[in-house]
């Protein structure tokens, strides 16, 4: 039977390792069991950011630096297991962005794909490749890879949204490119709502051919998502693990709305108590409505209870068993790197205690 740990270091072996080191060689048998593990291992830990605690710091940042000076005024949600690495999971970035009344976050583009999930405020906009969309709480907005985008707030109240980006995936592939726009605000070339009119009603323009893998719909309004969840809640029993859970899709292909980030929304009925579930994709959750808690269990660590309410954000590491519990009716938005794992044939799940 193969050894489950590195072979013993004899004086002869140690001398050999030192002899080959100047040639930039190393013995795989010393590293194999930490490189190819029996199950996923990650420094990622379960954690919750309560919006009531984060918001004062975000507003303080608004008085310290302008959106124009910062390019993007964002406070990073940094997982404690990835201190100093600007990661919320092993593959994804998350942060809270603030746009104050009258401000503009200047136009730029980059190869990283981004999502915006609106946390606070109503009526500010984001513009993507010549089209603006007004943002409302609970809206899921996409900025595809290498598209010009800027944000602005013409209202009298602050606007806050959650940014989610595939920064670590792009970094791993060494494929990061970025450039500033020629102007702070891009020229608008299409009327507001044009993308949704063309692609958001189970219809597609007859001669349209997709040029990218990202959904042509770049704003998925929460009002429509909530309607769908309500219908599911009326029409059948919830899944014992997820409640009533839907995934956002690209209407042209039926695949994930974003090629590298999967996005989901779920309704937990009043009193819902989920069964244990785990999957290889670590997930970031936002509580949109309601209150409850998620219990995360990992071997050798024990159970961590994450208590959440409206606007709170929490992370469940990949391949950790977890259960959702709702006090009253609750809605959770979430995102993960599931599409990448599925394309590579790596994603797997386990329901129950298996």
Q: Supply the pLDDT for residue 302.
A: 83
Q: What is the pLDDT of residues 133-158, one digit of tens each?
A: 999 999 999 999 999 999 999 999 99
Phi-psi group of 65: left, alpha or beta (phi > 0 → left; psi -120 to 50 → alpha; rest → beta): beta
Cα angle value 176/314/237 (rounded, 5°): 115
The band of 334, judged by pLDDT with boundaries at 50, 70 and 90, is very high
**pLDDT over 70 at 354, yes or no:** no
Domain assignments of the chain as residue spans, ordered by start? 47-351
**CATH class of the domain at 47-351:** mainly beta
pLDDT in tens, 174-221: 999 999 999 989 889 898 989 999 999 888 999 888 888 999 999 999
- Count of other CB atoms within 10 angstroms of residue 182: 9
Calculate what percentage of the chain has a pLDDT beyond 70: 98
Q: Residue 1: pLDDT band by 50, 70, 90 thresholds?
A: very low
Examine the pLDDT at 337 and tell me if it is beyond 90.
yes
Report the phi/psi class of residue 134: left, alpha or beta, with left for phi > 0 and alpha for psi in -120 to 50. beta
Question: Tell me, what's the pLDDT at 52?
Answer: 98
Is residue 353 scored above 80 in pLDDT?
no
Q: What angle do CA 340, 277, 320 make, to 5 degrees?
A: 70
What average pLDDT does the structure give for the chain?
95
Give the pLDDT of residue 4.
67
The residues pairing with 323 across neighbouring beta strands, listed in sequence order, are 295
Beta bridge mates, 307: 293
Distances (CA, A) of 346 to 217, 267, 343, 349: 28, 27, 8, 10
């Amino acid at each position: 039977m193969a050894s489950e740990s590195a072979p013993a270091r004899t004086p002869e072996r140690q001398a050999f390792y030192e002899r080959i080191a100047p040639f930039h060689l190393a013995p795989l048998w010393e590293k194999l069991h930490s490189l190819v593990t029996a199950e996923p291992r990650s420094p990622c830990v379960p954690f919750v950011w309560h919006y009531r605690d984060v918001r004062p710091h975000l507003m303080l940042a608004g008085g310290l630096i302008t959106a124009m000076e910062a390019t993007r005024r964002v406070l990073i949600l940094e997982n404690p297991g990835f201190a100093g690495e600007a990661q919320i999971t092993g593959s994804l970035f998350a942060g809270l962005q603030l746009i104050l009344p009258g401000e503009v976050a200047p136009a730029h583009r980059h190869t990283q794909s981004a999502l915006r999930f609106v946390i606070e405020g109503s009526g500010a906009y984001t513009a993507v490749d010549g089209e603006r969309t007004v943002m409302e709480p609970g809206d899921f907005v996409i900025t595809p890879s290498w598209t010009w985008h800027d944000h602005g707030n013409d209202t009298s109240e602050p606007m806050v949204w959650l940014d989610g980006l595939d920064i670590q995936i792009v970094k791993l592939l060494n494929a990061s490119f970025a450039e500033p726009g020629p102007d702070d605000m891009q020229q608008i070339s299409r009327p507001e709502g044009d993308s949704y009119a063309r692609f958001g009603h189970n219809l597609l323009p007859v001669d349209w051919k997709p040029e990218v893998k990202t959904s042509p719909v770049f704003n998925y309004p929460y009002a429509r998502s909530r309607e769908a969840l309500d219908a599911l809640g009326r029409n059948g029993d919830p899944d014992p693990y997820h409640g009533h859970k839907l995934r956002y899709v690209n209407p042209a292909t039926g695949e994930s709305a974003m090629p590298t980030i999967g996005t989901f929304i779920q309704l937990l009925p009043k009193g819902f108590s989920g069964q244990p579930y785990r999957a290889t994709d670590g997930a970031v959750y936002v509580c949109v409505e309601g209150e409850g808690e998620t219990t995360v269990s990992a071997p050798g660590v024990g159970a961590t209870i994450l208590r959440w309410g409206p606007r709170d954000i929490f992370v469940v590491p990949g391949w950790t068993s977890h259960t959702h519990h709702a006090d009253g009716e609750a809605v959770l938005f979430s995102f993960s790197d599931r599409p990448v794992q599925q394309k590579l044939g790596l994603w797997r799940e386990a329901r129950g205690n298996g």
